[in-house]
Structures are given as structure tokens and as C-alpha cells.
Amino acid sequence: MRVRPILILLLIGNLLSSTFSVAQSRQPNMIMPSLSDDSEISREGISMFVVAAENHIRRGQFELAIMTYDEILAWDPYDVDFLIRRAELKYRIGRVTEAKQDYVLAHRINPYLASLFNANSPMRRLELLAFDVSQYYKLEGNQNSIQVLQNQSIDKKMRGDILGALKDIELAIRNADKELAPLYKIRGNLYLLLGKYYEAEADYTEALQLQPELLEAQYNRGIARVLGNKRQDACMDFITLYRNGYATSLDPVHHLCSK
């Protein structure tokens, strides 16, 4: 029985195609996205990857954390949040050139967000928070000792002594006759500078519950939520403030919520 040449060629072509596909899938350096194209599934998947990365970081497994961010960025290569997070880890383990590449790309995409996430100098975040550096809150009632602690805390913060400032404000909170919103807002700012974003968010929320008109606490809570990977909640804060006429020299609604 004679086999037609055209059939032989087709069989060879199919075999080569299959072999190439298998070999390609086995390449160790090839980043293959693991997240679904479905937006709802993708958001859930990203959350799982973020938790995994944070766990790796807590255990000092920086290479594994970087690989986890690689997975997220394979799905969305222009996500500034994760470009900066990956850059910070690369700096920590000496992959400086790669870290700079990530940061340059992030800065081109969104300079505001790149500056916000840049942890090389956390004190730069003071420029992004809403507060008046000359404002020392006048506390209600007979709170002279608390007023002194509050003012000391603000002074130390502006000098860069964040831990000293935190010690003073925590003492003020403990010794106050009642809960005072400005003290929680100040401690929230300090937590944010220390990278404790969830603690900062909780303090800003407490300040707003005690004094809803303290709108700068809501603005700063939005910043903490961005840094804590809660962009949707942050945008709700910023949009609410925008609608209420609250404004700063920055435009977070444009820079953070138009993504």
C-alpha cells in the first residue's frame, strides 16, 4: 500500500508542532500567566497572590516573593503597585539594575503613584499626606499634659524621629481623659510612615468615627488604603472628598482612580 507524500508531510508537520509546543511549555524562564481573563476571577486570584507574596516576605523568602509578583505582572505588566513592590525586593537582594528598570517603568506610567510607593525614603510620603505642618491641635478641656505630648510628637515627626513621635502620641492616647480624634489621626500618620498601613487605616477610621468632619483623616486613610492594596476603598474615600469639595494640591482621583 502506497502512502501519499502529502499525508506524510502533514503527519511530520503535526508531530513537529506538538514537539515544539511541549518544549516551549517546559522552558523554566518563561513567565506564563496563571490568572484568568475574567475580571472577577482575576481580582480574586490577585488577592491570593498578594497574600502569598506577603507570607514569603515575612519568612524572608524574597526570591519567592519576586516570583509571585512576576505572576501578577505577567497578567498586567503595567500595574505600578506591583512594579514598585517588586523593585523594592530586588533592591534588597542586590538586583539593583532590574530594580531600577521596574522603577523607571512605574514612574513613566504614574509618577504620583511611583513616588507614593517608593520606600527608599518613607519621609517623602509626608509630602503626600494632608496636614498643616504649622497646625497643633487645640485639645478640648483641661488637657495640658496631653497637648504637650501631642506637640512633642509632631515636632519629632518633622525631624524624622518617627519612633520617638510614636512613643509620645501613644502615651497621649493612653493618658487622655477621653478618646480624641486628632491623636488617632496623628498616630495614623506615623504608622503610615512606618509602613504599617492596616494600623494606619484603623486609626484614621477611629478618628473619623470620633470626629466625622476631620476630613484630612479620610484623605490620609485613602493614601493608607492605596499602600495597603485596597485601591477600590481608597477611591471611595477620594471621590467622597472630591464631591464634598475637599481639595489639596494633589489630585488623587485623577492619579489613582482613573486606572
Residue 52 CB contacts under 8 Å (≥ 6 apart), including other chains? 68
| pLDDT tens readout for residues 151-169 | 888 888 878 888 999 999 9
Contact status, residue 211 vs residue 192, Cβ threshold 8 Å: no
Distance, in Å, from the CA atom of 159 to the CA atom of 190, rounded to the nearest integer, reads 13
Query: In 10 A of CB 190, how many CB atoms?
Result: 25
Domains of the chain: 39-121 (1.25.40.10), 131-256 (1.25.40.10)
Angle between helices 231-243 and 215-227 (to 10 degrees): 160
3-state secondary structure of 79: coil
Q: Structure pTM?
A: 0.61
Residues of the chain short of pLDDT 50, as ranges, are 1, 3-41, 119-120, 132-135
User: In this predicted structure, what is the pLDDT of residue 140?
Assistant: 56
User: In this predicted structure, what is the pLDDT of residue 165?
Assistant: 92
Contact status, residue 118 vs residue 124, Cβ threshold 8 Å: yes
User: In this predicted structure, what is the pLDDT of residue 254?
Assistant: 66
Residue 172 CB contacts under 8 Å (≥ 6 apart), including other chains? 146, 149, 150, 153, 183
Q: Which amino acid is at 177?
A: D
Distance, in Å, from the CA atom of 182 to the CA atom of 229, rounded to the nearest integer, reads 25
Distance, in Å, from the CA atom of 119 to the CA atom of 97, rounded to the nearest integer, reads 17
